[in-house]
Structure 1
Amino acid sequence: MTITKSRVPRFLRLTDRPTLSTKMMWVGLAITLTFILIAIFSPLFIQWGILQDPTEFLSNPIHEPPSWTHWFGTNRLGYDVFSRTLMGSVVAWKVVILATALSMAIGVPLGLVSGYLGGRLDRVLLFLMDTIYTLPGLLLSITLAFVVGRGIWNAAIALSIAYVPQYYRVVRNHTVSVKTELFIEAAQAMGASTWRVLSRYLFLNVIQSVPVLFTLNAADAILVLGGLGFLGLGLPEEVPEWGHDLRQALDALPTGIWWTAFFPGCTMTLMVVGLSLFGEGLNEFVNPKMRNE
């Protein structure tokens, strides 16, 4: 069977002139994949002795500028900034994936059930989710971090609550619009159970925007996690985390020690930009009405 050009997804056509959104998506994907590879191989490099252990205290040197021995220099405790910066991506991915997975696991089913059943349950859930949605995400995460304490799982829980309403609202609104389609009414007329309608007919038709929301929430979660770390919340101090390292570097900046803040800050910014570009570019392909051609 010959695959014609019309059968190939538009963003995979190499013969077309790439649009700005296509370039954005591919650049963002390249950056995101780079950080995924860093997160995969950094622990292995430490285990093999290629990278220094980011939690190993060094008596000397302290605040050494970037050199061949320590590419990104060392901080006030003698930690190697290069290894801590790379391992920060491992911690970021762990927290972000856990937080967004928890948000989806709660928000998607609630949105499906609420949009399909409607009635009092829908009104109550809408009021609850709108109330949570109106709260600033960072402020809500800070409050929850005080309650649940430090740790990767606790930080993920603190972040996830703020994103549940977004998944709920997207899935619920799509469910409300799709449930009036003829194929849903036909399934109901044939005696399909509520569970069968939700799982077989509705789920795949309303889930298309969730991957886009995942990438955008992941970018935001990295910033919020960095904010928690900067405030001394979220993760234990010995864990290599970009926000915590920025907080530790704050006092050294006036003395000209720039590298302890520059490299973690730039790395966190680059990862956020990559995820944002990929999410925004992907959004234009998932939602064709947003394209400007």
Structure 2
Amino acid sequence: MTASSKTQPRWLQFLTYPSLSRQLMLVGLVITAFFIIIAIFTPVFQAWGWLQDPNASLINPIHEPPSGQHWFGTSREGYDVFSRTLFGSRAALQVVVLATSLSLIVGVPLGLISGYWGGKMDRALLFLMDTIYTLPGLLLSVTLAFVVGRGVGNAAIALSISYIPQYYRVVRNHTTSVKTELFIEAARAMGATPTRVLSRYLFLNVIQSVPVLFTLNAADAILILGGLGFLGLGLPLDTPEWGHDLKLALDSLPTGIWWTALFPGLAMTFMVTGLSLMGEGLSEVFNPEMER
């Protein structure tokens, strides 16, 4: 690495320096971007007549294998699997982005405040977050889904609760170590208010690990959302969703109707893989010593 590259930002060094992690991150970025584009433009494709209504059953419901007319075949209910798979990416993206954003919005401020002030509030929050963290994510989401009911917003809330402790713990631990640094003490000595110290100095120094958590939690949220859909929870039953479609396809597999399960399963697998590769790449961007 040249002397000039040492002055480059860490993220720019990562992108310009050839490594397997960089290549895998770019692959993950391409996969994720593909699904985002599909999720955004799927209603447009339907309006242009390129996609069938995902909830419209054929006049004569017959499970047809993949063909030129139905690229991914049709289900036993007469649904077009290609259309439902594409619309399933839209449902997954909506819930996952909302869930991870809610957990970030709640967990990061709580971690900052708890780590900065400490005391009884810190111990109480730490006990609460550790209690939530010990519960399996799927079990907690299933329980909350029973309570809040179906819907995009309700499913996002059910998913976000299990991710709040992760943001809280990471931000709190960084805050407790950074708040004793000399530049924080200098800011206090110059009359900076606690709010200013938190927002201007501490926040920018402890936020670096949050993008890594965001992408990894998004990948995990897709799997949990699929589990909720498979159990008949989460989204309304008439919403195209990968987990629910896999449940409907379960009865079709013994009769040789393999395509109704294959394509939603592959879509879920690729989207989770793309987000996971992005998370691993971002982890190296913010922690370059991990590669060594």
Q: TM-score range by the shorter chain?
A: over 0.9
Q: Which amino acid letter does the alignment assign opposite residue 160 of structure 2?
A: S
Q: Which string of whole-angstrom CA distances, capped at 9 and with x for unpartnered residues, describes residues 217-266 of structure 1?
A: 00000000000000010011110000000000000100000000000001
Q: Which SS does the other structure have where 1:86 is aligned?
A: helix
Separation in 1 of the partners of 2:196 and 2:62? 62
SS of match in other structure, 1:76? coil
For 1:229 and 1:59, the matched residues in 2 are separated by 26
**3-state DSSP of counterpart to 1:75:** coil
Tell me the residue number matched to 1:145. Answer: 145
Corresponding residue for residue 44 of structure 1: 44
| Residue segments in structure 2 that go unaligned for 5+ positions in a row | none
**Code of the aligned partner of 2:261:** A
Matches within 5 A, 1:113-192: 113-192=113-192
Distance 1:37 1:98 in 2: 17
Q: CA deviation at 1:20?
A: 1.4
Provide the secondary structure at the position in 1 that maps to 2:58.
coil
Is the contact made by 2:114 and 2:121 (CA closer than 8 Å) also made in structure 1? yes
State the distance in 2 between where 1:42 and 1:113 align.
41
Aligned pairs, how many? Answer: 287
Q: 1:272 and 2:272 equivalent?
A: yes
Q: Secondary structure at the match of 1:113?
A: helix
TM-score (norm 2): 0.96
Shift in Å, 1:149: 0.2
- Partners of 1:197 and 1:60 lie apart in 2 by 66
Q: Which residue of 2 aligns with 1:219?
A: 219
Residue segments in structure 1 that go unaligned for 5+ positions in a row: none
Alignment of 1:1-293 (within 5 A): 4-8=4-8, 9-13=12-16, 16=17, 18-292=18-292
**What's the CA shift for 1:55?**
1.6
Tell me by how many angstroms 1:62 deviates. 2.2
1:86-144 deviation per Cα after TM superposition (whole angstroms, max 9, x unaligned): 11110001000100011011100000000000011100000000000000000000000
Identity of aligned residues (%): 74
TM-score for both structures, normalised by structure 1: 0.96
Dislocated runs of 4+, deviation >3 Å? 4-8
